[in-house]
């Protein structure tokens, strides 16, 4: 019998014959219909993992059954109707993936479980409990900074966790443990890193937390840079309603328009080298300073707490 399925099984089906979590050797019990994988997931803090995404992943992708379900309130799951063959069992452990019998992060490390027609294979798993990175973010004056995006990322494993600070500046990130993270705080388009005052990701600290434990990292934001200036025509008169934007490392950032006096302002811009572009209402394009294209435009370097002024005078229209 050759068949390939993709389905979402209903969580909470009855689970039989559960053995100790983390057992690498699967137990097998008789069932009425089809091959079944069932089991229970707990973490290293002793808590059951409810509502975790569980997947049966066949080694024979052409003929096996790829099936997904979720654990119930007791951490139990059932994956029924599997085509006989070898399977690995994936576990969404709450922000990262592991493979049965747990504490294995790559598919190659996962145990291969044999599924037989009319039999139940018991797969219990012990996964890592999440670690917590928490702290408080304040502005340059020491007041709580609310609504600031805080992210913890690891460039090797490609893990990324993010949330916003609360009204009191507090945050708490549940992360995969035993992994070194860089912490980034975004104040508008101004990125900074822990420890406080670090503006280069390459110089940032790395913070690691053990399973079920917490690490505290507070941060005080620097004064973000500002970009401002005035656009005038070839005769020196202000140019209103011109579109202004800036770029950095090939990325186009926000847009604004000049006011009646030709003035514009961007707050909380990146700490980086920037190029500034102007497009008038009539369609004339110019890059500071006096360039028709970005390649020959001038780079302007921003700095913490500094207002960079870029005034531009349009060349005579051709």
Name the pLDDT band for 158 (thresholds 50, 70, 90): confident
Give the C-alpha distances (Å, rounded to integers) separating 201 from 164, 195, 290.
20, 11, 33
Whether 94 has a pLDDT exceeding 70, the answer reads yes
Under 8 Å between Cβ of 215 and 135: no
Q: What are the sequence ranges of the domains in the chain?
A: 6-127, 131-220, 226-313
Give the C-alpha distances (Å, rounded to integers) separating 313 from 15, 234, 248, 283, 290.
75, 6, 22, 15, 7
The topology (CATH level 3) of 226-313 is: Immunoglobulin-like (2.60.40)
CA 314 to CA 317: how far, in whole Å?
8
Can you give the pLDDT at residue 33? Answer: 66
Q: Which helix (H) or strand (E) holds 55?
A: strand 53-58
Average pLDDT over residues 119-146: 97
Can you give the pLDDT at residue 260? Answer: 98
Under 8 Å between Cβ of 288 and 297: yes
Cis-peptide into 11, omega within 30 deg: no
Instruction: Give residue-wise pLDDT tens across range 21-70.
Output: 333 334 444 444 679 999 999 999 999 999 999 999 999 999 889 999 99
CA 143 to CA 292: how far, in whole Å?
44
Domain 6-127 and domain 131-220 have a common topology:
yes
The topology (CATH level 3) of 6-127 is: Immunoglobulin-like (2.60.40)
Whether pTM > 0.85 for this model: the answer is no
Instruction: Give residue-wise pLDDT tens across range 241-275.
Output: 999 999 988 788 889 999 999 999 999 999 999 99
CATH number of 131-220: 2.60.40.1120
Can you give the pLDDT at residue 250? Answer: 76
The phi and psi torsions of 106 (rounded to 5 degrees) equal -115, 155
């Amino acid at each position: 019998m050759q068949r390939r399925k993709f389905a979402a099984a209903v969580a909470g089906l009855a689970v039989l014959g559960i053995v100790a979590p983390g057992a690498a050797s699967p137990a097998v019990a008789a069932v009425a219909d089809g091959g079944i994988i069932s089991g229970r997931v707990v973490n290293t803090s002793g808590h059951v993992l409810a509502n975790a995404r569980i997947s049966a992943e066949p080694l024979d992708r052409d003929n096996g059954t790829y099936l997904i379900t979720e654990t119930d309130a007791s951490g139990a799951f059932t994956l029924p109707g599997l085509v006989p063959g070898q399977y690995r069992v994936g576990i969404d452990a709450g922000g990262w993936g592991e493979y049965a019998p747990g504490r294995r992060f790559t598919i190659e490390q996962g145990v291969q479980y044999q599924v037989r027609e009319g039999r139940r294979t018991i797969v219990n798993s012990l996964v890592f409990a999440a670690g917590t990175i928490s702290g408080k973010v304040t502005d340059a004056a020491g007041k709580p900074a609310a609504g600031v995006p805080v992210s913890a990322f690891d460039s090797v494993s490609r893990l990324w966790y993010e949330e916003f600070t609360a009204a009191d500046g507090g945050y708490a990130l549940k992360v995969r443990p035993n992994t070194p993270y860089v912490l980034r705080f975004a104040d508008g388009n101004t990125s900074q890193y822990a420890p406080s005052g670090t503006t280069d990701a390459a110089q940032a600290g790395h913070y690691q937390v053990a399973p079920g434990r917490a690490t505290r990292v507070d941060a005080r934001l620097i004064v973000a840079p500002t970009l401002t200036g005035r656009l005038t025509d070839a005769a020196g008169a202000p140019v209103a309603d011109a579109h202004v934007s800036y770029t950095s490392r090939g990325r186009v950032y926000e847009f604004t328009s000049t006011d009646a006096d030709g003035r514009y302002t961007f707050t909380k811009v990146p700490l980086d080298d920037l190029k500034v572009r102007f497009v008038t209402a009539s369609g004339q394009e110019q890059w500071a300073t006096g360039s028709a294209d970005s390649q020959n435009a001038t780079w302007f370097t921003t700095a913490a707490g500094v207002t960079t002024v870029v005034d531009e005078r349009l060349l005579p229209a051709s």
